[in-house]
Structure 1
Amino acid sequence: MDQILLIESQQIYADEIWKFRQEILECDAENEDQFAGCMSLDVSKSSEEWIKICELRKSEETCGDTGATVPSHTYLAVRKRDDKVVGVIDLRHHINHPILGTWGGHCGYSVRPSERGKGYAKEMLRLNIQNAKSMGIEKLLVTCNSENAASEKVIIANGGVFEKIIDVDGCKMKRFWITL
């Protein structure tokens, strides 16, 4: 796997963000979680609009303007050798919210369809755990659909300890905790 960096969304990656979005729309049309960790990217009219949303979501005072109830940071997973956006991952500052505390968790992530199976999700979560540590988060709740074996492997590889399976509107979700 090539080295990646987690970088906050910024204008120099606008074209790459839009290419990432288009690939997800084309390849994952049937997946309702296609934009996990990418809040609003699916409905944004441009990458510039989405970058602005990401900026507003970082603050408790402005996250509500974007429809979010909890502040978060959104990071691009950028492959170092060619500056290609291979994924997006977010980090919620806390999960003191009924949905996030039950099944949403601290972070969600999406890997570009053409880049899946290369270890990027595992590295994205590892790097995001470092971000969580620097924010003072002590335990990270990470969840996945009970049928998503790939995501479960990523979580376990990063120290995730299975807690339980819950039912969310007929969908079985696995809850894992990562102690930082």
Structure 2
Amino acid sequence: MTDIYLIEATFEYAEQVWQFRQEVFDYDNNSESQFAGCLSLDEAASAEEWIRWCQLRTSKETCEQTGVDVPSTTYFAIRKKDNRLVGIIDLRHHINHPILGTWGGHCGYTVRPSERGNGFAKEMLRLNLNNAKTLGIEKLLITCHSDNAASEKTILANGGVYEKPIAVEGTKIKRYWIDITR
């Protein structure tokens, strides 16, 4: 599938980000991980504010201004044929952190609810593995809730190797590793 490409968070898509946010609120209001890969999108006062936060998070020198210790890059998954934001995925530059190294992992992602079931998550993760390789990440940790069959399928389709289950505050989570060097 080459229907989409990833682009770093940019103001060009601010209006679509805000529509994406509202759609996730409307469809996933009971999900505790509704904004996986979209750190703080639910807390931002505007799309522009959130995109600024994303841009600050890319650098070790500025990420702490947004309340995080580990730099990350947030990417928009854009469908080529109509320039539509179909998903958001992030990539943490390392996981040398107690939460990230245990259950947060290197990346998280959310597909726009109206676009789910079209293979976008699988392609977003595949493309993000290239970004991880560019950063020098050799093995990528990715996790999902044990009852999230769609995410597990996405991880497995991208070479995820199951490691073990863990419990985080009563929630069962599965840990997977993807070898980036292959």
CA distance in 1, matches of 2:16, 2:99: 31
Is the partner of 1:130 in helix, strand or coil? helix
Deviations 1:25-78 (A, max 9, x none): 111111110000001111111111011000100011110110111000000001
The one-letter amino acid paired with 2:9 is S
Deviations 1:12-36 (A, max 9, x none): 1111111101100111111110000
Partner of 1:88: 88
Question: Would the aligned equivalents of 1:2 and 1:81 in 2 still touch at CA under 8 Å?
Answer: no
CA distance in 1, matches of 2:172, 2:46: 34
Deviations 1:99-151 (A, max 9, x none): 00000000000000000011000000000000000111000000000111110
Aligned-CA RMSD value: 0.8
Partner of 1:174: 174
Percent identity, aligned pairs only, is 66
1:1-180 matches, within 5 Å, as 3-180=3-180
Question: Would the aligned equivalents of 1:166 and 1:172 in 2 still touch at CA under 8 Å?
Answer: yes
The one-letter amino acid paired with 1:160 is G
Is the partner of 1:143 in helix, strand or coil? strand
Deviation, 1:98, is 0.3
* TM, length-normalised to structure 2: 0.97
Is the partner of 1:51 in helix, strand or coil? helix
CA distance in 2, matches of 1:106, 1:126: 13
Would you say how many aligned residue pairs link Structure 1 and Structure 2?
180
Question: Would the aligned equivalents of 1:74 and 1:88 in 2 still touch at CA under 8 Å?
Answer: yes
The one-letter amino acid paired with 1:38 is C
Question: Would the aligned equivalents of 1:87 and 1:112 in 2 still touch at CA under 8 Å?
Answer: yes
